Amino acid sequence: MALAQSLLNALRAPLKGFLKAWVEPRMIEPDPSELALDPSRPTLYVFPHPALSDALLLEILCQRHGLPPAQARVGLPGLELPASVALPVRPRRLWRRGRTFEAPFRQALEYLAEHDEADIQVLPVSVFWGRAPGKRFGFWRLLAADSWQLTGRLRRGLAVLINGKSVEVHFGAPLQLRDLLDERGPAVANRKGARLLRIHFRRMRTRVLGPDLSHRRTLIEGVAASPEVRRVIGELAVSEKRSVERLERRALRYGREIASNMTFPVLRFMDGLLRRLWNRLYDGVEVRGLDRVKALAGDHTLVYVPCHRSHIDYLLLSYVLYRDGLMPPHVAAGRNLNMLLVGPLLRRGGAFFMRRSFRDKPLYAAVFNEYLHRLLERGHPLEYFIEGGRSRSGRMLSPRPGMLSMTLRSYLRSAAGTSPPRLAFIPVYIGYERIIENASYQREMRGGKKRKESPWALLRVIGQLRQPFGKVAVNIGEPLSLGAFLDDTTMGWRDDASQAKPPWLNRAVPALGDELARRINGAAALNPVNLVALALLATPHHAIEVSLMKRQLGLLAALQRHCPGGEHTSLPQGDPSTWIDQVVSLGMIERRPHALGDILVATKEQSNLLVWYRNNVLHLFALAGLTAFAFRHARRHDLDSLHAQLGPAWPILARELFLSPVKLSVSLPVMLESLCQEGLLEYVDDNWQRPSELEAGEQLRLLARLMQPSLERGYLLLAILLAQPPGTLGREALAERSQQLTERLALLSGRDAPEFFDRTLFASLIVSLEGEGWIWEREEKLWFDERLRSAAQRTGELYDPALRHRLQLVSHG
C-alpha cells in the first residue's frame, strides 16, 4: 500500500500537467466568482467519492479562478487538515466489509467544539466526466461516460482521455461546519454532515443524470402485471368472453406500443444532430429562467408543460435541458409521430406514444395510466402539452384534461402512502420569430385538411433549411407545486387521496389547467416579429410609415416595462430600427422606399401569417388595448365611468386570454398612469382624456385596435344570445350562429382573416361567460337574467355609433 501511494505521489505532478493541457470543462456551475465563500474562514472541498482525476481537476480550477487552494493543507492553530476530502464509499470486496468507514469531519468538528471562535466552511464538488452533451457519439465515449454506477480506475482513465473536453463541474452551497454542532457532540454532527452531503450529491446526480433507467422490458412486464391492469383484464375476460392469456398479451402489446426506450447514446447523438440543426435553422436559442428548474430538479419530480406551437417543440426543450446539465424528460407524443425512421429515434430519445382517444379502450387506458404512474413514482421528469395539439391560431388553447387528470390521479396514489411525493409543474413558453409550419397552418385555418405526418413530409421540411428562421426563445415560467396548489384550492384533498376518482377531481383538473396556462402566458417572449405584427395589423390596410412604426414599437416596449403582462415576460434586444430590419430580412413584411419616407407593407399572404405571431403575445397588451378602446369615441373618462364600462368585459377577456386574475380596480389605475407617462393620455381635473397631438392620437388608435376583434366577437355573440328569450339557444347553436355572422362581418368589412371567425374562439367565450356566472346551462340550453342585458348595454357604450350600428346590422342578419 505504501509503495502504491509513493508511485501515486510521483505521478501526481505529470498527471496534473496532462489534465491542465487536455481537460476543458464545458460547464462550471455556478461561476466560481459567484460562490459565497468567506475569505476569512478555511475552506474544505468535499467530493461524493474518492477520485484522483476529480481532485487534480479541482486543484487546476482553483488556481485558474482564484479559489482557495485545493492541494495544500488547511492550517488552524494546532490542527492541519487536507484541503479536499471525499465521502467514504463502502467497498464491494467481502474481506474489507468489516472496516468502519466514517465521514471525514470528525477531527475538524472536535476542534471546533473546543474553539468557539473558529469555523470551517465545506464546499461540495460534483464532477461529471462524459455526461456533458457537447461531445460526439461513439462507442468509446459511451463506455467512458458517467452513469449511476461508480466508475472503476480503468473506466475513469478512459473518461479523462475521451471526454476531457466535455466535463461538468457543479459546486454546491457552502456549509458551515459549526452549524452542525449541538449538545450531542462531534460524533453525531459528523454523521449529520455526511448525511446532508450525501443527500446533496444524490440530488445533484439526479438533476444531471435523472433517476436510474429501468430496463424497458422489465418496466412493461411490471405494468402488465400491476393490480389495476389485472383487474381490467379480469373484467374484460368476463364481458368480452376472451381468455385471460390473450388479454395479457394484448396488455404487453399496448405497453410496447406506449413505452419509451430512452438511451444515453441516442441522447448524445441527438444532441449533436440538433445542435447542427439549430445552428442551421436559427440565429440562436435564448433560454431564460432555468435556475428555477435547477433549484427543484434534485428533490422534485418535474412535469414540463410547454405551449405547443410547432413540431420543433418536441425536440427543442429536451435539447435545451440536456445542454444545460439537466436530465431530458420523457415526452408524451401522439401516435401519429411513431412513423418509419422517425418513431424509433424519438422513442430512444425519450418519447412515449399515446393514442388520441382512450374511448372504448379500457385495457389501453389502464396500461397507459399505470405506465405514467410508474414514471412519476420513480421520479422521471415528464413533458406533455396541455393544449393537446399545436395551436393553428397562435393563441394559447384551452387545456385538455386528459394528461393532467392522469397526473393528478397518479399523485394521489403516491400521496396515499407514508411519504407524499414532491411534484412540480414547470410552465414553459416557446416563442418563434418564424415557424416551419407557416404554410400548413394557413391552409388548415382556411378549412384545408390536416395532412398526415410522414417521413416524406420531413424531407420537405429539410428543403426549408436554407431559409432564415430568426431566433427562438425558451422562457421558464413560475413553477407550480401540485401539493401546494391542492392545499390552496381543494380543502381536505388528503382525506380522499386513497380514492381512484375523488368527487373534487372534475373541478380540480380544469382549475389546474387554467392556472398552468396563465403561467405559460406569464412567461411570453416578445420578439421583433410579434411586435411588428401587433403594430402593423392594427392599421386599416396593413401599411404604415417607418417613423410611426418605430414610435409604436417603442410604445409597446415601454408599456411592457411599466406594466408587464406576466411575471417572467421578456423583451428582445436591440431597438425598433433593428427589429424592423430583422422582420424584413425574414420576409415577413416589405419595406418600400418613398421620397417622403419609407413605408412598411404586408401583402395579403404576409398579413395572414402575421396574425399567428400577433396572437402569441396579444394577451400581454389586453388591458392596454381595452383601456385605449374606451377613448375611441369618448374623449375623456373618470375612473368610475371607465370601470363601469370595462368591468363586465375585462374578466371575460382575462379568461379567454389566460391572464392572471388581477382585479380591474387594481390594474386599471396603473395602466392609466402608464399611458399618461407615454403621452397617450392626459390627467386633467380628475379625468383622463385624449391629448390634442395628432401623433399621440394615432398611436392610441393603433393600440385600441388590438382588442377590437375580440370585443366585436363578444358583442355579436351577446347580441345573438340576448335577441332570444332565456333557455332558447344551446351551446352549439350559439357558437355556430356567432361564427356565421362573424364571417359575414369579415366579408363585409374586407377582413381576410380566418382566425377572426374561428369557431373555437366562440366556444371558449361561452365557457368564459359561464365561468363568470353571466350564463348557465340547464337541460342543454343557455339561461341568463337581466344582469347580462344590463352589462351588455354598459359595454356597448364603448363602441362609437357607426361601429355599433354596423355590428347591430350584422347581428340581425
Indicate the pLDDT class of residue 416, thresholds 50, 70 and 90: confident
Averaged confidence pLDDT in the chain: 85
**Contact at 8 Å (CB) between 270 and 383?**
no
**C-alpha distances out from residue 679 to 666, 695, 698, Å:** 21, 10, 12
53-73 per-position pLDDT tens digit: 888 899 899 989 989 998 878
In contact, 673 and 680? CB cutoff 8 Å: no
d(CA 643, CA 663): 11
For range 131-159, the mean pLDDT: 49
Structure confidence at residue 345 (pLDDT): 85
Q: How far is CA 724 from CA 207, 390, 728, 770, 784, in A?
A: 59, 36, 6, 17, 11
* Confidence bin at 752 (pLDDT 50/70/90): low
What beta strand segments (E) does 322-406 contain? Answer: 330-334, 351-354, 382-383
Question: Using CA atoms, how far apart are residues 372 and 380, in angstroms rounded to an integer?
Answer: 10
Per-residue pLDDT averaged across 196-208, rounded? 85
| pLDDT score for 460 | 61
The pairing of beta strand 121-129 with beta strand 175-176: antiparallel
Least confident among 1-5, 483-487, 750-754: 1-5
**Dihedral angle sign, alpha carbons of residues 228, 233, 234, 235:** positive
* For range 388-408, the mean pLDDT: 91
Written as nine digits, the cell of 333 is: 407524443
Provide CB contacts within 8 A for 140, sequence distance 6+: 158, 162
Tens digit of each residue's pLDDT (9 = 90 or more) over 471-480: 999 999 999 9
3-state DSSP assignment of residue 718: helix
C-alpha cell at 522: 406569464
CB 169 within 8 Å of CB 28:
yes
pLDDT tens for 682-694 read 999 889 999 888 8
pLDDT band at 804 (very low <50, low <70, confident <90, very high): low
Residue 616, judged by CB atoms within 10 A of its CB (0-12, 13-18, 19+), counts as buried
Lowest mean pLDDT across 266-280, 287-301, 341-355, 567-581: 266-280
The amino acid sitting at 59 is E
User: Residue 230 — very low, low, confident or very high, per pLDDT cuts 50/70/90?
Assistant: very high
